[in-house]
Amino acid sequence: MNKENKALSISSAIGIKSGDVISLVGGGGKTTTMYYLAEELVKSGLKVIITTTTHIFPPDDSYTLLLTKDPNDLERTFKYVNPLVVADSHDKEKLKGLDPLLVPDMSRLADVTIVEADGSRNLPFKAPNDHEPVIPPLSTIVIPVVGAEVVNKPLNEEWTHRTDRITEITGLKKGAIITPEVIAKTLLHPMGGMKGVPKDAAFIPLINKADTRDDIKTAREISSFLFDGGVKKTIITSHKERTFIKPFTCNGHVTAIILAAGGSSRMGKPKQMLQIGGKTLVSIVIENILASIIDEIIIVTQPDLPLINDNEYPELKRVVNNAWQTGQSSSMK
């Protein structure tokens, strides 16, 4: 959290507003996402209740936990605490969830109510059982969560929860390789990620564990298959350092253009080649862009100053500006 992305939060990427009831379902990462959302929303000035209709571990000591079934208890406590974690009772190591019929009482008190409505035993990918998920009917946003690290892993109990359900939905045999298409098919299926989603709720998949450039590429592939199935937006995140939070929208295409043809005449040498931490300035720029959701990168260079080797960043398109001495505007034509 010490490297939090200042440009975008998960809540703003999703588009959460006052009055929303958010239900998180699917694979591992739901609880972390829930608390990150609560933290962001409280900082924005909203009153937030966190709860579950299944089972979750108790929060750390920085959160206030209320165990109750009484809406009056909830109202009294919530006057003085924000955010507030609410559950029915302790059930061994975990908190027992509330009856979803109590969620309307919460939503009348809170600006935003966040509900963990599914369990996954911390595994990155799942399909629901008969009794799952327990999504409150008044939910306005449903967020199915999946971990990008499950791609190219075998379909088995080491990587998936309710493996037999995934085989029923996808037609795959146990042990088959999980692909982006398999994940999308499961999330889009009425007995998979779409199970129990209220008719008017927004369905916004969140693909977590996008911790590397390859993971981000994988998450985008999953998103593309989801878009083919009618999803309008996904959220791609890395909770590991909380540095990467990006919405990825259907039919979106973003090109980054790096203007690197300058001569740095006042400095006396190309500043693009200055070293910072053992890397050139241009390499740092390229790697930061590659770590974001960018569909295409174009770098404009001088003919005699290529800056990078052709094989170093194969994703880049190079444009040579032979008129670079006429000024930066010539690189934009």
Give the pLDDT confidence of 303-325 residue by residue, as tens digits. Answer: 887 787 766 776 688 899 988 87
Of 109-123, 129-143, 210-224, 261-275, the poorest mean pLDDT is in 261-275
Rounded CA-CA distance 204/231 in Å is 7
Confidence band of 140 (pLDDT split at 50, 70, 90): very high
Q: What pTM did the predictor assign?
A: 0.80
What CATH number is attached to the domain comprising 274?
3.90.550.10
Confidence band of 166 (pLDDT split at 50, 70, 90): very high
pLDDT in tens, 9-40: 899 889 999 999 999 999 989 999 999 999 99
pLDDT of residue 243: 57
pLDDT of residue 312: 74
Nearest to 62 by CA among 80, 83, 88, 47: 83
- Same domain for 91 and 171, yes or no, is yes
- Same domain for 241 and 271, yes or no, is no
Rounded CA-CA distance 196/137 in Å is 8
- Same domain for 259 and 244, yes or no, is no
Is 279's pLDDT higher than 60? yes
What CATH number is attached to the domain comprising 217?
3.40.50
Domain assignment present for residue 109? The answer is: yes
- Same domain for 270 and 193, yes or no, is no
Domain assignment present for residue 1? The answer is: no
Confidence band of 43 (pLDDT split at 50, 70, 90): very high
- Same domain for 284 and 158, yes or no, is no
Task: Label each residue of the chain as H, E or C.
Answer: CCCCCCCCCHHHHHCCCCCCEEEEEECCCHHHHHHHHHHHHHHCCCCEEEEECCEECCCCCCCEEEECCCHHHHHHHHCCCCCEEEECEEECCEEECCCHHHHHHHHHHCCEEEEECCCCCCCCEECCCCCCCCCCCCCCEEEEEEEHHHCCCECCCCCEECHHHHHHHHCCCCCCECCHHHHHHHHHCCCCCCCCCCCCCEECCEEECCCCHHHHHHHHHHHHHHHHCCCCEEEEEECCCCCEEEEEECCCCCEEEEECCCCCCCCCCCHHHCEECCEEHHHHHHHHHHCCCCCEEEEEEECCECCCCCCCCCCEEEEECCCHHHCHHHHHC
- Same domain for 49 and 138, yes or no, is yes
Domain encompassing residue 304:
255-332
pLDDT in tens, 217-239: 899 899 999 999 999 999 999 88
Q: For the chain, what is the mean pLDDT?
A: 89
Confidence band of 174 (pLDDT split at 50, 70, 90): very high
> C-alpha distances in angstroms, 185 versus 83, 194, 235, 306, 323?
35, 10, 17, 44, 50
Total domains, the chain: 2
Mean pLDDT of 155-179: 98
Domain assignment present for residue 3? The answer is: no
